[in-house]
Every structure is written in C-alpha cells, then in structure tokens.
Structure 1
Amino acid sequence: MSLEIVHFPHPMLRFKSQPIKRVDKELRMMAEEMLELMYAHEGVGLAANQVALPLRMFVVNPSGKRGEGEERVIINPVLQRPKGSEADREGCLSLPGLFGDVVRSKQIMLSAYDLKGQAIELKCEGFFARVLQHENDHLDGTMFFDRMTEDARRDLGGALEEFEIDFKSKQAGGAIPSDEELAKQREQWIARYA
C-alpha cells in the first residue's frame, strides 16, 4: 500500500481517529512510510488521518531531518497538564502554503505507546510540545485554523475555499474516491486495528 498526504477538506481530516488495539508488520511499515512522507514534504509531524488512516497514531521529529533530532512514532496519545500559553506560526502538510498564528500550551505531559507497546511518559515544552498538540488535534479532527482567532481565520478564507474547490473537482473527476467510498475504506481500517 502506498500512502499519500490528503489535503483539506478530505473527510478523514475531520474524523475523530480510533485507538489502536493491535500493532502488526503492516502498521509498522505504514509508520515508516509516514516518516518518509513527513521528511519528503519537509514536515516535523504527520498524523495517521493525514494519510487517510483513521487511527490514533502520529509520527514526529521536531528537527524535520532524518538522522537529526528525535524521531518518534506515537500511538494512542493522551496530552495532559497543560501549562502556560504562547502564540506562534503554524502550517500543515494537509494545507500546503498556508500559515497562521495559533495559541498553544507551552508545556504538556504526553502519555502514549510506541510501536513495541512500550509506554511513553514525557514532559514536553516549547516547539516539541507545539508539534505534539498540533498532531494530537489532527487525531480529534481539529485543524490548526480552528484554533486561530476569527480575524486571523478570515484572512485564510479565500485560500481555504480554493482547497475546497480543488478537492471537489478532483473527486468529481474520479482522482479522489467519493465520500461513501472513503467512509467504507475508513470502516475497513477501523475493523482491522481499532
């Protein structure tokens, strides 16, 4: 199976992802492919639903470069104990070329699992905490612009409409499956892993 990054307004981006109950060879290969895609598109994080997988998993590396920084596969994350807040500019691989200021917690606690089933408990702050919050939002069907102020979001309006027009046109032309077919694919993944 070859994964590719889906763009807004793909329905999977608004779907609340399901917890993963089992890890197999295919899921590990998909996690590796997600890391490859993330690096190829110069990202620092990529959530499973950004590649049309309805599962609570994302990959991150705040350096954005293979072999540098700390590469992680995060399964079934829970973010807790937020402290402080700060605004910073964010973008998204599902909305290429679009950026906006988002207020996030400066510090959080991450509880999750890795691909081997080992528990991860981390106190995270700064940019790494921001990346985790952005990717975790994806798993809940929240896009970064949902967290922007109304004025800031209005500035994106035209660009978001262009993404919607492009998506509908590709769907009408058959390059993207129908919403019904996408829903069917989603249910197959959930039956297998959730």
Structure 2
Amino acid sequence: MAYSIRTFGDPVLKSKAAPITDVDGKLVRLVDDMFTTLYDSGNGIALAAPQIGVQKQIFVWDLGEGDQQVIFNPEIVESDGEWVYDEGCLSIPGLYVEMVRPKTVLMRGVDINGEVVEREADELEARMYQHELDHLHGVLMFDRMTSDQRKEAMAEFRRIKEAEQAEALKPADSRFRRLRLK
C-alpha cells in the first residue's frame, strides 16, 4: 500500500519520532509500504516514516541499485569534512537548495533482523542519511538554511505551490466546455 507523502506545513513533520522497541510483522509491512511509497514518488532516494505520518524512527532508501535498505533508531556517531550539494526533499517538492553538510558519516542503528549495524558513507549517501535523520527529529531543510537562504527558499516554495494550485484549477479536458443554452 502506498501512503501520501506529507508536505511542508503538516505538523507531523516537526515532531520527534519515537524509537522502535520491537521489530515485528506489522513493522515489516510498514517498511514494505514505505518502499512502495518511495518508488511511487518517482524521484526520491529515501523516505522517513514521519513523511508518511508515522512517528517512528525508521527510514528506507534505495540509491538506484535496487538494493533496498532500512534502518531503525539511527544515529550519526561520527562525521567529518564539508560537502556542498543541492538538496531536495519529497516533503518540500520542487525545491532544491545548496546546503553544506558533513562529507563523511558513520551511522549506527538496527536492521530489519534486530541486529546493530554501522554504515560508513560519504557525499550523497552521507547527505541522505543526515537528511533522513533530520526528519526523525522533526527538522526540515528550511531549519538548516541560513536566514537569507530560508527567505529565498520560502518565496520559491510559495511560487511552486501557487503554480501547482493554478494548474490544478485548469480544466483537464473537453468535458468542462461551457454549455451554451439558447
């Protein structure tokens, strides 16, 4: 089952997610549904549970190799360097902002089998871990921006939303032609 992705303005995105205490069948189904939602999004590489309204410390990812990954209760235990990259978010669709984050990270968490795992990553993968962890703590890209970036990004996001709303109001096809009554 695919969920709707919550977007900026939804209060669930600003709340801290609860830790996972037990990996059971219900949680495994949720992970499967998260992958379905991620793939249905068309352009995401990762999805955190709060983005679908589930306040649990889970995120899933697939960096394009068809290698589905999930982690519960993740934390960054080490980071180093800086890397500048245009970052986007499924919960802030259409907006990409140049952001600085650590270049390398060591993430620790629990896998689907309940085992503690560590993942070292750099550049895009490291950024993705940090971005998804932010979601688990109620932090959005806007919260990581400088005040000038945030002002410009918010204005652009409003333009994107207004354009989407205007497009949604357009007639989809000829069924909406005006009737001319005599």
Q: Same fold (TM over 0.5)?
A: yes
Residue of 54, 58, 74 corresponding to 1:77: 74
Could you say which residue in structure 2 is the equivalent of 1:33? 33
Residue identity matched to 1:75: F
What percentage of residue pairs aligned between the two structures are identical?
35
* Secondary structure in 1 matching 2:47: strand
Could you say which residue in structure 1 is the equivalent of 2:10? 10
* Secondary structure in 2 matching 1:58: strand
Could you say which residue in structure 2 is the equivalent of 1:147? 144
Gaps of 5+ in 2: 163-182
Q: TM-score, normalised by structure 2?
A: 0.82
Output one character per residue of 1:119-150: Cα deviation in whole Å (capped at 9) or x when no partner.
21121111110100000000010101211222
Matched, 1:54 2:55: yes
Residue identity matched to 2:71: I
* Secondary structure in 2 matching 1:112: strand
Output one character per residue of 1:20-67: Cα deviation in whole Å (capped at 9) or x when no partner.
10122121111111111112212011000000001000001122xxxx
Q: Of Structure 1 and Structure 2, which has the larger fraction of its residues in strand?
A: 2
Gaps of 5+ in 1: 166-194
Q: Distance in 1 between matches of 2:59 and 2:147?
A: 28
Could you say which residue in structure 2 is the equivalent of 1:121? 118
Q: 1:69 to 1:126 in 2, by over 3 A?
A: farther
Larger radius of gyration: 2
How far off its partner does 1:3 sit? 2.3
Tell me, yes or no, if the aligned pair for 1:8 and 1:164 is still in contact at 8 Å: no
Tell me, yes or no, if the aligned pair for 1:100 and 1:145 is still in contact at 8 Å: no
Q: Distance in 2 between matches of 1:2 and 1:122?
A: 27
Q: Whose relative contact order is higher, 1 or 2, with alpha carbons under 8 Å and at least 6 apart?
A: 1
* Secondary structure in 1 matching 2:93: coil
Tell me, yes or no, if the aligned pair for 2:94 and 2:160 is still in contact at 8 Å: no
Tell me, yes or no, if the aligned pair for 1:59 and 1:72 is still in contact at 8 Å: yes
Q: Distance in 2 between matches of 1:124 and 1:94?
A: 23
How far off its partner does 1:159 sit? 4.2
Q: Distance in 1 between matches of 2:158 and 2:124?
A: 29
Residue of 109, 112, 122 corresponding to 1:112: 109
Q: 1:17 to 1:163 in 2, by over 3 A?
A: farther
How far off its partner does 1:162 sit? 6.8
How far off its partner does 1:107 sit? 0.6
| C-alpha RMSD of matched pairs (Å) | 1.9
Could you say which residue in structure 2 is the equivalent of 1:136? 133
